A and B are shown apart, each in its own frame.
Chain A
Amino acid sequence: MGFWEKVMRLDRRWVFFLIALAVLIPFLKPLRLPISVTKPVKDIFDEVEKVPPEGPPLLIGTDYAPSTAPELDPMLYALLRHCFATKRRVMLVALYPQGAGMAQAGLDNVLPEFPEVKSGMDYVFLGYQPGIGSVILQMGEEIRRVFPTDAYGVSLDSLPMMEYIHNYDDIAFMMDLSGSSVPMLWVMYAGARYEQRIGVGTTAVSAAQYYPFLNTGQFKGMLGGLKGAAEYEKLIKKKGYTEARKVATIGMDAQSIAHLVILFLIIIGNIAFFASKSHRKKTKLTSG
C-alpha cells in the first residue's frame, strides 16, 4: 500500500484531533483577526438605532434551542446590550418551547451589567405560547389575547411599559433569532399581513436560504452565523455601548482556523484520491 493510499485510509480520529486543536489553540492564544462589517449586519444595527429610546419597543423572537446557542446567543446578548445601553425598550417572545429558556438565560447573562433596567418598565418577557403561525397572527390583533401575562405571571395590563402596546402597530422593529424556518413565518404573517418591519439572526448554515427575503426587503437586514454576531459586537463596541467580553469575536478566530484545517483536509483528500487512482492504473497496466 502506497503513501497516498495510507492517507486515504487515515483513521478519522486523527481528523477529530486536528479539528480539536484548530478550535482549542485560538482560544488559548487569540489571533485577533480583523472583522469587517457587511451590509446586512449594518442594516440591522441601523434599524435598531431607529427604534426611539423609551418609545415603541424592539421585539426579539428567541426561536432557537441550545443546539444553535453558540451562534445565536451572542446575537441575543449584543442586541440586549445595544437596547439596554441606549434606553431602548425590549419585548422578548418565544415560539419555540426551549426558546423561552434561552431568552431567560440571555436576560440573566446581560441584566447584571444594567442594574437600572427593570422588568415591566424597560423590558417585557412574554414567554412561550404553542402554535407559531397562530400566535404571530394573534399578536397582530391584540398581544394580550395570546399573552395575558408575562413569563413571570404578571398581567400585561399592570406593566407600565405595555400601557400603549397592543399589536404590531406599537412595535418599532422585530428581530427573530432562529436556526429554523420560523423567521419565514414572521415574514409571511407579521410582515406581509401587518407590515411589521422584520430582521433575522440565523445560523451560518441557514443564512443562504434568507437571501431572497433580504433582497426584496422583507427582511431589513440579517445577522448570519457567528460572523454576523461578531460584526454586530464590533458595531456596538465602536459606538461605546458596551465593554462586555465579545464572545462571537473570540469564536471567529477558532472558526477561521477550523475552516482552514477543513480546506487543508479536502485538498489532501483529493490529492490522495487522484494519486492512488493513478497508482492503481499503473499497477493494472504493468500486471496486464
Chain B
Amino acid sequence: MRRKIPLTIAFVFGIVMIIQFFIPHPVSRDFYQTMLDWRIIVIAFTYILAVSSLIRIHINKVRRKKTGWGFSYVTLISLTVTAVVGVIGGCFQPTQITTWLIEHFNWQIEQRTVLMVIFTYIQIPMGATMFSLLAFFIASAAFRAFKARNLTAIILLLTAFVVMLGRVPIGELITKRLPEVLQLQNIVEWILNYPNMAAQRGILMGVGLGMMATALKIILGIERGYLGGGD
C-alpha cells in the first residue's frame, strides 16, 4: 500500500497534466492553476523539512562532540536569531515592534529592518568573501595542474589562454592593431559561438531526452527511486 498509493498518484497526475495541456477549456485551466498553487505550497513545506533536517544534524553533531562541533553552535544560533528577527521584525517592511524599537532607542537603520541590516552587513560580505577565495585556489590549481601533457591538454590550454585574455580589456588592447579576425575578442566570440555552442547543444539535447525518459519512467512506475528505500 505504501508504494501503490504514491505510484497511482504519480501516474494519474502525470497523465492528467499532459492531457490538460492540450485542452484550452476553462475547467482544464482552473485545474492547471490549482495544481500550480498546490505545487508552490508543497515546495514551501519542503523548506520546513530542510530546516528541521539541518537542526537535527547540528544538534547530533554537538551531542556527539564530532569534529568542528563548535561551528554547529554558530549555525544553530545564527539560524534562530535570523529567523526570529525576520519573523518578529519584518523582512523588508518594519513591523510595529521594529518601529517601536527604532523610535524608543533612537536607532538609525538605513535598511529599515534589522533582517536587512544582517543581510547587508553580514551575509553579503561573507558570501562574497567565500566566492572570492576561489580566485586564489583557481590560480594555485592552474599553476600546479594545468600542464600540456598531451594533445587534448594542449588544446585546452591554448583555448583557456585565448578565452582568459580575450574576455578582459587588456587582451583587446594587446591585439588592437591586428586584423579584425585575429583580434582576441573576436576569436573568443568564435570559440563561444561555434565549438562551445555545438558542445553545449549536444549536452542540452542529451539532458532533455534524459528528462523526458525519466519523467515517462516515473509516470509509468518504472522508476521508483523517488519513493525511497523500504516497503
Binding site for B on A (CB under 8 A): 10, 12, 15-16, 18-20, 23, 33-36, 38, 65-70, 98, 100-102, 104-105, 108, 125, 127, 129-131, 133-135, 137-138, 141, 145-146, 151-153, 204, 207-209, 211-212, 215, 225, 227, 252-253, 255-263, 265-266, 268-270, 273
Q: Are B143 and A265 in contact (CB under 8 A)?
A: yes
Contact of B123 among A70, A101, A141, A258 (CB under 8 A): A101
Question: Is residue B189 contacting chain A, with contact meaning CB distance below 8 A?
Answer: yes
Counting from the closest, the 6 A-B pairs by CB-CB distance are A66-B127, A33-B169, A131-B43, A256-B170, A67-B131, A256-B168
Give the contacting residue for B93; candidates A102, A134, A153; CB below 8 A: A153
Q: A101-B123, A263-B164, A270-B148 are in contact. Are A38 and B189 (CB under 8 A)?
A: yes
Chain A residues, Cβ within 8 Å of B171? 256, 259
Question: Is the CB of B116 closer than 8 A to any CB of chain A?
Answer: yes
| CB pair A212 B36 closer than 8 Å | no
Q: Are B146 and A266 in contact (CB under 8 A)?
A: yes
B144 is an interface residue with CB less than 8 A from chain A: yes
Instruction: Give bound CA distance, A68 to B130, whole Å.
Output: 10
Question: Which of A23, A137, A204, A273 meets B167, CB within 8 Å?
Answer: A204
A208 to B163 Cα, complex, angstroms: 11
Q: Do residues B128 and A69 form an inter-chain contact, with CB atoms below 8 A?
A: yes
Q: Which residues of B contact A146 (CB under 8 A)?
A: 36, 40
How far, in Å, is A212 (CB) from chain B's closest CB? 5
Closest Cβ–Cβ distance, residue A161 to chain B (whole Å): 17
Contact B132 A265 (CB under 8 A): no
Give the residues in chain A near B128, CB-CB below 8 Å. 66-67, 69-70
Residues of A within 8 A of B22 (CB): none
Question: CA separation between A270 and B158, bound complex, in Å?
Answer: 13
Closest CB in chain B relative to A87 CB, distance in Å: 24
Q: Which of A33, A38, A66 counts the most B-chain CB atoms under 10 A from its CB?
A: A66
Q: In the bound complex, how far is the Cα of B185 from the Cα of A129, in angstroms?
A: 39
Please report the C-alpha to C-alpha distance between residue A95 and residue B34 in the assembled complex, in whole angstroms.
20
The answer to whether the Cβ of B73 comes within 8 Å of any Cβ in the partner chain is: no
Instruction: Indicate if B31 sits at the interface (CB-CB under 8 A).
Output: no
Cβ-based interface call for B23 (8 A): no
Contact B200 A152 (CB under 8 A): no
What residue of chain B has the Cβ atom nearest to residue A35's Cβ? B169
- Assess the B43–A134 pair: CB atoms within 8 A: yes
B residues with a Cβ closer than 8 A to A are 29, 33, 36-37, 39-40, 42-44, 46-47, 91-93, 110-111, 116, 119-120, 123-128, 130-132, 135-136, 138-140, 142-144, 146-148, 157, 160-161, 164-165, 167-173, 185, 189, 192-193, 196-197, 200-201, 204
Nearest CB in chain A: distance from B215 CB, A? 13
Contact between chains at A134 and B36 (CB < 8 Å): yes
Q: Kindly list chain A residues whose C-beta atoms are within 8 Å of the C-beta of B111.
A: 104, 108
In Å, the complex CA distance between A101 and B92 comes to 8
Contact A211 B193 (CB under 8 A): yes
For B189, the chain A residues whose CB sits under 8 A away are: 38
Q: List 12 A-B contacts (CB under 8 A).
A: A16-B136, A35-B169, A36-B172, A66-B125, A66-B128, A151-B91, A208-B200, A227-B169, A256-B170, A259-B167, A262-B164, A263-B165
B140 touches A16 (CB 8 A): yes
Determine whether the beta carbon of A137 is less than 8 Å from that of B36.
yes
The answer to whether A215 touches B193 (Cβ under 8 A) is: yes
Which residues from chain B contact A20 at a C-beta distance below 8 Å? 136
Q: Is the interface of B mostly helix, strand, loop or mixed?
A: helix
Given contacts A211-B196, A270-B147, contact A252 B168 (CB under 8 A): yes
- Residues in B whose Cβ lies below 8 Å from that of A65: 127
Nearest CB of A to B83, in Å? 12
Contacts of B167 in A (CB 8 A): 204, 225, 227, 259
B36, B128, B136 — which one has the most chain A CB atoms within 10 A of its CB? B36
Cβ of B138: which chain A residues have Cβ within 8 Å of it? 262
In the complex, which residues of chain A have a beta carbon less than 8 angstroms from the beta carbon of B125? Answer: 66
Assembly CA distance A114 to B148 (angstroms): 53
Other than the given A104-B111, A273-B147, 13 more pairs (CB < 8 A) read A23-B135, A33-B173, A38-B189, A105-B119, A105-B124, A130-B46, A131-B39, A138-B40, A212-B201, A215-B197, A252-B168, A253-B169, A259-B171
Q: Which residues of B contact A268 (CB under 8 A)?
A: 143
What separation, in Å, do the CA atoms of A65 and B143 have in the docked complex? 29
Closest CB-CB distance, B115 to chain A, in whole Å? 8
* Bound form: Cα–Cα A66–B44 in Å: 22
Q: In the bound complex, do residue A257 and residue B170 qualify as a contact, i.e. CB atoms below 8 Å apart?
A: yes
Q: Are A130 and B172 also in contact (CB < 8 A) when A138-B37, A269-B143 are?
A: no
- Whether B92 lies near A151 (C-beta < 8 A) is yes
Contact B135–A258 (Cβ < 8 Å): yes
